[in-house]
Amino acid sequence: MLRSLCLGFLALSLMASPALALEVGGTLSYEAIYQLEKEELARSRLALKASIQEQLPIGRLYSSLLGWLDPKDEDHLELEQLYVDIYTPSADLRIGRQLVSWGTADGINPTDYINPKDLFDPLEAEFRKKPLTMVQATYYGSQGSITGVIVPEFNGQEVPEQVAESFPIEFPEPKEPEDWQERIQYGLRAETYLAGYDWQLSLYRGWDPYPALWSIAQPNPQGDPLVILSPHASYRRITKAGLAFAGTLGDVGLWGEGARMWPEKIRELEDNPLAFSANDPWTQMIVGLDYTFLADLYTSVQYLWQSRGSAFIPYGQDDKAQSYLILQGRYTHWDHELELVGMTNITDGSWVLNPKYAYRAAPAVKVYVGGRFFCGDGDSEFGQAQDEDMVKAGIEFSF
């Protein structure tokens, strides 16, 4: 597998002509994660992230490789992104496999619709996004810009293993749309600068990447048990619309964004006590600010609100609105960096804490230690994840 990683990166390198400008960069890292409650080594991963950029007469060619070796997990190798940029005086065009990032908030973006996120990997510090093949075009006018995205690739995710294990029944694999016209998704964003702030108005029409789940109770003709549960899973269309802003007030950075989601209705979800998804629309909003003290201490605070259910788990039967507070502090002194990120669910009082210390041993070498710790009642959002408490250590080489 290691040979495959090296050959894959070499193949990417050979795509570029030495006669043109070429930039190669990336990281080679090792990370170990130990889960405290389970008393086991959950990760021992050697990972490679590499990117190649080549300037073309009409624009740019970009490609990136992601792969890892891990005896605790399946080895992985993928061509993460591969696209070409075409530049004109008033418009840009990007064609290929890519990641699109919309929104202004830090880490949690209600208006970042295009690429689905993996919400269910407890070992990852950030939500990893799935690259998709698409066409993205941006027109630049005197008052701002308009970006349109067309995605012919289906973005559906399988029922996550963690979700499947939490239910007493096994859900079937949801069926993907077969017609390419049904698979197409659309996104549109208008961006302008007004009253000292950047504003983004966006719209999306596509597929909810997380399938709707429900069960139907049926009489058992055999008599024992009296009822049989028939599980169902289905992908469905969804429409999203949102607004985001960012700017400064003196030395304080300010941002916020919100989106309203309208899922396609499924008849079997109505008035069904065995439904784990819902037909009702919902809203997610986040606002935040940051400030740096004496050039060494960066601080930020964000408030996140969702009108129905958890902001991080798309399944459940609790329709109450949820509120969260996210605090971050990062102190940097010479080659040392100490960071603390905490999030609390204000509604149920649970919280998660992520401390991290990093030391830059050389300009291209960083070592770090850190962890993640959950606290709360057993049935609270973060409290139910206490068996995922962990500590980690790693080293990263940049090139």
Which tens digit of pLDDT belongs to each residue from 231-243?
Answer: 999 999 999 999 9
- Residues 140, 147: Cα–Cα separation, whole Å: 9
How do the domains of the chain map onto residue ranges? 1-81, 88-278
User: Residue 313: what pLDDT?
Assistant: 87
Residue 34 has pLDDT above 50, yes or no: yes
Predicted pLDDT at 95: 98
Instruction: Say yes or no to pLDDT of 316 above 50.
Output: yes
Provide the pLDDT confidence category of residue 292 given band limits of 50, 70 and 90. Answer: very high
Q: Which of 23, 14, 88, 26 is nearest to 58 (CA)?
A: 88
What is the Cα–Cα distance from 291 to 180, expressed in whole angstroms?
47
pLDDT band at 286 (very low <50, low <70, confident <90, very high): very high
Q: What is the residue type of 377?
A: D
Which residues fall within 8 angstroms of residue 294, CB to CB, at 6 or more apart? none
What does the pLDDT average to over 80-95?
Answer: 97
Model pTM score: 0.91
Q: What is the pLDDT of residues 44-62, one digit of tens each?
A: 999 999 999 999 999 999 9
Q: What is the pLDDT of residue 346?
A: 97
Q: Confidence class of residue 5 from pLDDT cuts 50, 70 and 90?
A: very low
Does 2 have pLDDT greater than 50?
Answer: no
